[in-house]
Amino acid sequence: MNTTCYIHNRVTLRTSTATTLYELWKNRKSTVDRARQRN
């Protein structure tokens, strides 16, 4: 569930807008530097 919420907050809302939910809430660009690959 945490992974789903994390990804949902970082994908674009609609194709007409280039902002994500994270960007709207935090007023800054999101990064995926902390994302880890899990087996």
For residue 38, being part of any structural domain is answered with no
Amino acid in the structure at residue 32:
V
φ, ψ of residue 23 to 5 degrees: the values are -65, -35
For residue 16, being part of any structural domain is answered with yes
Domain that holds residue 15: 1-25
The answer to whether 12 touches 18, Cβ cutoff 8 Å, is: yes
For residue 37, being part of any structural domain is answered with no
Q: Given this model, what pLDDT does residue 4 score?
A: 73
- Domain count for the chain: 1
For residue 21, being part of any structural domain is answered with yes
For residue 1, being part of any structural domain is answered with yes
Q: Given this model, what pLDDT does residue 32 score?
A: 64
Nearest residue to 20 (alpha-carbon basis) of 35, 33, 7 = 7
pLDDT tens profile 11-33: 766 666 677 777 777 777 766 66
For residue 20, being part of any structural domain is answered with yes
